[in-house]
Amino acid sequence: MIYSIAVRPKEKNGSVIKVYYLEISKENPDIDLLANTLFHNPLTEELVPELPQENITIVMRNNAVLDSAQKSIIDGCRRLGVEVEAAKVAHCYIGEVPASVFINPLIHVKYHEVPQLETLKPRGSKVPMEVVDLREYDDKGLMQMSEDRDLSLSLKQMRELVLIQMDLEQGPVSDVFLDIFAARWSDHCCHTTWLSCGLLNMLKRATEVIANPNLVSAYYDNAGGWAFYDNLVLCISIETHNSPTGKEPYGGQITKLLGNIRDIFEFALGAKPIGSLELTVLGELARKKFPEIAGFTLDADIVARETIRAIADAGDPMGIPMMLASMDSHPGYSGKPFALGGNVGITRKEVAQKGVPRIGDWAVVLNWTGNDGYHGATVSSGGLTEKTDTGDANHVQMGDTFPQQKLMRARLELRDNDCLSAGNDFGAAGFTSFMEIAEATKRGVGYAGGVKLNFGWVPTKCVGIPDKIIAVGESQERFGHVVKPEKLEEAMAIYEKYELMATVVGIFTGNNRVQIFNDPDATKLTVESPLTGVVSFDVPYEMFDRCPLPTAKPVAPPTLSPQIVFPKIEKKNVEELAIQVVGSFALANQAWATTQYDSTVQGITKQGPLYGKNYNIPSSLAVLKPVEDKNWGVTFSSSFAPWQFDVDPVAAAFNAVADAVIKQIVAGVSMEDICLADNFYTPDKDPYALWYLCEQVKLLAETSVAFGAPFITGKDSSHGSGEYNGTIVNVPPGVCVSALGKVPDFHKITPHLWSSPGNKLYSIGYQTKTLKGSILASELDLIERDQIDTMTIGQGARFLKELEVFTQAGHFASAVPVNRGGLIQKLFEGVQASGFGVKTDLVEELFPESFGSVLVEVSPKISGLVEGYFNGEIELVGEITATPEIAVQGTNLDMNKLFNAWNSGFTRKVVV
Amino acid sequence: MKKVFVIYWPGINCEEETMAAFRAVGADPQLVFVRDLISGKIKITDCDLICFPGGFSYGDHIDTGIVAAVMIQEFIQALLEAKIPGIFICNGFQIAVRAGIFGNNNLALVQNDSGVFCSRPAKHFVEKSNCLWTAGLEGRTLKFPAAHHAGKVTTFGHVNRVMRYEGLSPNGGEIAAVTNPNGTLLGIMDHPERPIGNKDGLEIFRNGIKAV
């Protein structure tokens, strides 16, 4: 029977009523006890005996999506002696639903009268396994099958599956077979675009050439490993979750954030996450370039609000400090936002290599499987079309923080008690991630591979979940652990201690085959035991290697003939242009969002994500001190400038590397202690995108070698296009570059904050003269494909070396990179952060964006030394003054106007 | 060394830095799982000091701290009768309030005025009180960060104040910390344990150890 308890706040006089629905079998449960003890704070809330009958909207999660509060409700009620079987929390809005509340039909169900609910449990009906004889289909039929089943496989891939079916000699193949191959051969998992062009090898080779002694692991685990001090190892993972975020931003962003964290705590044999990165680029806020796509995607302000809500709701409970956070806007991301997140972790050297299963190890799955999260990998690999965008909504699951937060702790205890041979999360593609664990032969570690799984033992959220969904459904909170048989009891005790559900579902066989059967009645499983019940998959690993690669050839773009003429910048229009820059969405005050993310949990934060006397200026470098009794510092920076990529994707890629690295160097990090992560996001419907991608990768490889900073992890998303009623929306071909470093003593980091009036400010490094790709150009709508001038790779490497030496001598009182918004943005931020002012004689030099240069504060006593050292690459910007003003050639800018523009540029577009 | 029980409910996430703070002032902190209290494996009064740390116990589901409070409810009377000094931080404060540790029907922690989570530096002016955790710190302004969503102290009767916000309040309220009538317990929304080694925060922890 379904019982309900309705509660409303006394203060707000009941415009929103919270309704707890409880499914209880036992008769006469003590609902009053629950209402008065658990569900109701008598000081601030009152019980609502009966819900209004009209003019109401009741919203709750639909039955397919479990309510994340259910487990806690069940636990609390049980403690009070009432056994609850299922629970949901609804909100009942009287009158209009507030504009700030986003009801997503993909997740929520909505009633306008009090519903008569029959059950709160996810319902399912047994769907029998389907079998298909691929040999009976011609090319048209194969492609129709790929489309109808959301496989996102090409004709070449479908044809290869026909051959595999014939080679297997097992008769028709199952739907499980089709879905597993679709997941394994998806661009998301197999990186077919990159493989076909040899791009991944390009970066890997560069990393090998650099041969940095800090390298622990690169490009073969969930994250890259980088030596810290003593026997400690840092790990870094940066990943995007672009596909569903435009349509289901709350769930999509939670999934992104939790996915990044899982990559860290499932790194090697387990690591502790210590810092998060958040970066989301939305469409349409900056320009209304594609009005015709309205209706196909959510409005960008909703995506923004839901993103912030998701990152706070999921990130804060995880207990990992937010290192850096920002939001940006560009019309190219109207279809699919750039939803990027990252995480840094720490572990010990002896457990920092990916684990290897042994024959006879148990395959243990954590948590349960639902029918949400189906086709995550294949849909994220397909272009966002009207079909995938408006069709099956279950391709991404709502990530649930609570079980993952518990597992994050359990994982370290399992590691420290040597319980596991290996482990992995079930990110995109579900159990196929488990299969990857068993595929150890490719790493040359001596295990022949092979796993046998009984899907009849897999705990499910509802009855009748087909094996194909169990196989590839994402189910974010699921994990696969390889438990040593002699440690099974100990491991199970640890899972229980953290209140996690762990179930043995298979065994590692060493027979080099993936074998899946469904026999709920099976009582025994050994390496030799036969497959019983319904056998859906029995395939040797080498079949997965037969993925045909695409044959697309890069097509160079035509010669450019830029038309844009930029306005002359003079003293008389500096203030007007400065207001446009500091008030732009990307550079305005985003503290309203950033302060919603816990940045000080763990007690290890030394710098970031904000700084300044009002704690509202974004840091360019995060600094953590992760070891209790040591001053060792972890440094983290990131760079992505969408307008630059719009104008010159290749030059912008170099700028991204230079910017990420110089943030570290000018803080005092040695180049040899810096490693990099790449995250490419490129369109699939731009005919020149592949050419840009190849040029970018080549340039990144060359730059990393020249700088001596290797790329140790990276991800790519090559489907950044959407088509809506014939309108194609492409993301600019771009790559976000992040840098991870270390310093022996965090106290020696150069601060951002200006220290003293009278000190001089210099811009050091390559000074660009153009506004191409700048924030100002975007605000003036002067963006077109062109060439952006940058320093050469050689110039950059030499300059960074010189800067490294000078910085480590401690000559700079403060330093910040000059990048987006140019010098004017950094001067404004410097004034806001310090409460001091600045006077400058520069005018037109204030607006170009010289990525790879820095604004440094120097005592007048050593200004001669600085000017001599950086001769030819230095420009005097001005002098710090005592009062918070910006004087340009003797005239003060109106600080009130600048402040108001900066303070409202973000919030007026996002906050309702 | 003084034994400190730092209580762990599922969802707590500040236990490590809290234990680091106790270690820094010479105590012996032990992480105690609430399931071990419920099973009787550990007795809640077998310590010199007790601490409920911050986090999101039971995911903050239903209401902040309430599920954890229900879990530990049967042990509260014994804890109060033993007069064991305690510090209750952030979610630990919310749990303590819902469990009646600071009295019944006199105090609630409600959503921040902003309606959203707030993570930022905060200043805390120590008022004159009988709280042993702030003995000798009266009149000083202590700096440590805030990080909470529902931290506005709302009173419905007499409350013994210990600290008030100076400058910007992260939750819109005035009161930053409270104590019980005999001054042995400290309830505080912000985080004196952050960052590890914070000198202002350690003075509070040191006072607790000194008192026992």
Q: Are A785 and A651 in contact (CB under 8 A)?
A: no
C-alpha torsion sign, points A560, A565, A570, A572 = negative
Query: Distance between CA A553 and CA A693 in Å, rounded?
Result: 12
Asked if the C-beta of B39 comes within 8 angstroms of chain A's C-beta atoms, the answer is no
Closest-CA residue of A relative to B32 is: A497
Give the pLDDT score at A161.
Answer: 97
The phi and psi torsions of A95 (rounded to 5 degrees) equal 80, -145
CB A865 within 8 A of CB A551: no
Measure Cα distances from A558 to A39, A286, A654 in Å.
Answer: 66, 28, 21
Which residues of chain B have a CB within 8 Å of the CB of A599? 119, 147
Interface contact B59-A605, CB threshold 8 A: no
Whether B20 and chain A come into contact, CB under 8 Å, resolves to yes
CA dihedral A562, A564, A570, A573 (to 10 degrees): -150
Q: In chain B, helix, strand, coil percent, each to 5?
A: 30, 30, 40
Q: Please report, for chain A, how many H helices and E strands are present, in that order.
A: 27, 38
Q: Is B193 a catalytic residue?
A: yes
Tokens of B163: 């600290």
Whole-angstrom CA distances from A83 to A20, A367, A498, A613 are 15, 20, 21, 52
Write out chain A residues lying below 8 Å of B147, CB-based. 316, 598-601
- What confidence score (pLDDT) does residue A102 get? 81
> Do residues B166 and B141 touch, judged by C-beta distance below 8 A?
yes
| Chain B interface disruption, residue of A30, A45, A72, most B CBs within 10 A | A72
The answer for residues whose C-beta is within 8 angstroms of residue A469's C-beta and 6 or more apart is: A369, A371, A374
User: Which of A37, A76, A601 lies nearest to residue B147, judging by beta carbons?
Assistant: A601
pLDDT in the model for residue A106: 67
The alpha-carbon gap from A165 to the nearest alpha carbon of chain B, in Å, equals 47
CB atoms within 10 A of CB A287: 15
What pLDDT score does B189 carry?
A: 98
**Chain A interface includes B152 (CB < 8 A):** no
Contacts of A76 (CB under 8 A, 6+ apart): A38, B58, B62, B66, B67, B70, B71
The span from the CA of A518 to the CA of A538, in Å, is: 12
Query: Which residues contact residue A468 at a Cβ distance below 8 angstroms, ignoring those fewer than 6 apart?
Result: A129, A174, A175, A176, A178, A179, A536
Residue A911 structure tokens:
């906050």
Choose the CATH number for B3-211 among 3.40.50.880, 3.40.190.10, 3.40.50.150, 3.40.50.720: 3.40.50.880
Site from B117, B200, B202 to mutate, A interface, most A CB atoms within 10 angstroms? B117
Tell me if chain A has a CB within 8 Å of the CB of B11. Answer: yes
Neighbours of A387 (CB within 10 A): 12
Distance in Å, alpha carbon of A628 to nearest chain B alpha carbon: 7
Nearest CB among A498, A600, A610 relative to B10 is that of A498
Cis peptide upstream of residue A609 (ω within 30 degrees of 0): yes
Is B58–A44 a contact, with Cβ atoms under 8 angstroms apart? no
Tokens of A111: 């009633």
| Residues of chain A predicted below pLDDT 50 | 376-396, 441
Of B107, B119, B195, the CB nearest to A595: B119
Contacts of B71 in chain A (CB under 8 A): 75-76, 79
Facing A312 at nearest CB: one of B14, B35, B117? B117
Contact A824, A582 (CB under 8 A): yes
b vs e for A488-514, b when ≥16 Cβ sit within 10 Å of the residue's Cβ?
beebbebbebbbbebeebbbbbbbbbb
Q: Which residues of A touch B110 (CB under 8 A)?
A: 44
Task: Report whether A502 contacts A411 (CB < 8 A).
Answer: no
**Longest CA span, chain A:** 87
Interface of B with A in 42-101 (CB under 8 A): 54-56, 58-63, 66-67, 70-71, 98
Could you tell me if B196 lies within 8 Å of chain A, comparing CB atoms?
A: yes
The per-residue pLDDT for A378 is 45
Q: Which phi and psi (to 5°) does residue A746 adopt? A: -65, -20
Q: Is B167 on the interface with A (CB under 8 A)?
A: no
Domains of chain B, residue spans: 3-211
pTM above 0.90, yes or no: yes
What does the alpha-carbon distance between residue A383 and residue A152 come to, in Å, rounded to a whole number? 9
- Please tell me the predicted confidence (pLDDT) of residue A124: 67
Asked about B149 being catalytic, the answer comes back as no
Across the interface, do A597 and B195 touch by the CB < 8 Å criterion?
A: no
Peptide bond into B145 cis (omega under 30): no
Closest listed residue to residue A680, CA positions, set A199, A184, A329: A199
Identify the closest residue of chain A to B108 by CA–CA distance.
Answer: A43
Handedness of CA A851, A852, A857, A862 (dihedral sign): negative
- The pair of three-digit structure tokens given for residue A347, joined into one six-digit string: 């572990």
Q: What is the pLDDT of residue A381?
A: 40
Please tell me which residue of chain B has the smallest CA distance to A599: B119
CB contacts of A15 in chain B (<8 Å) are: none
- Scored b (16 or more CB within 10 A) or e, A554-572 reads eeeeeeeeeeeebeebeee
- What residues of chain A lie within 8 A of the CB of B21, using their CB? 603
Residue given tokens 């773009």 in the structure block: A557
How far is Cα of residue A465 from the mean position of the Cα atoms in its chain? Answer: 29
Say if the Cβ atoms of B147 and A68 lie within 8 Å: no
Report CB contact under 8 Å: B70, A597: no
Contact A402 B11 (CB under 8 A): yes
Residue A757 phi/psi, 5-degree rounding, is -60, 145
Query: At residue B17, does pLDDT exceed 90?
Result: yes
Which residues in chain B have their CB less than 8 angstroms from residue A75's CB? Answer: 58, 67, 71
Q: Are A787 and A824 in contact (CB under 8 A)?
A: no
Token digits of residue A157: 């891939």
Whole-complex ipTM: 0.98
B47, B90, B118, B131: which is the annotated catalytic residue? B90
User: Are the Cβ atoms of B58 and A603 closer than 8 angstroms?
Assistant: no
Residue of chain A minimizing CA distance to B55: A317
The strand pairing partners of B166, in sequence order, are: B123
- Judge contact between A176 and A467, C-beta under 8 A: yes
- Residue bearing tokens 């897999």: A458
Whether residue A661 contacts residue A799, with contact meaning beta carbons closer than 8 Å, is answered with no
Least CA distance to A21: which residue of chain B? B62
Nearest to B70 among A20, A38, A625 (CB): A38
A188 Cβ partners below 8 Å, 6+ apart? A376, A377, A378, A380, A381, A428, A429, A717
Tokens 């469904």 label which residue? A518
Distance CA A185, CA A168 (A): 18
Burial A346-373 (b: 16+ CB within 10 A, else e): bbbeebbbbbbbbeebbbbbbbbbbbbb
**Chain B residues closer than 8 Å to A625 by CB:** 195-196
CB contact under 8 A, B63 and A312: no
**Total residue count of chain A as it appears in this document:** 912
CB proximity list for A434: less than 8 A, separation 6 or greater: A363, A365, A424, A426, A451, A453, A480, A506
Pairing of strands A814-818, B86-89: unpaired
Distance from C-alpha of A499 to C-alpha of A478, rounded to nearest angstrom: 14
Among chain A residues, the shortest Cα distance to B99 is held by A37
Known active-site residue B118: no
Chain A residues inside the 8 Å CB shell of B9: none
CB within 8 Å: A601 and B14: yes
Answer yes or no: do A317 and B11 touch at CB < 8 A.
yes
| Residue B198 Cα, gap to closest chain A Cα (Å) | 9
Residue pair B152/B159 in contact by the 8 Å Cβ criterion: no
String of DSSP letters for A146-210: HHHTT----HHHHHHHHHHHHHHTSSSEEHHHHHHHHHHTSHHHH-HHHHHHTHHHHHHHHHHHH
Backbone φ and ψ of A737, nearest 5°: -115, 130
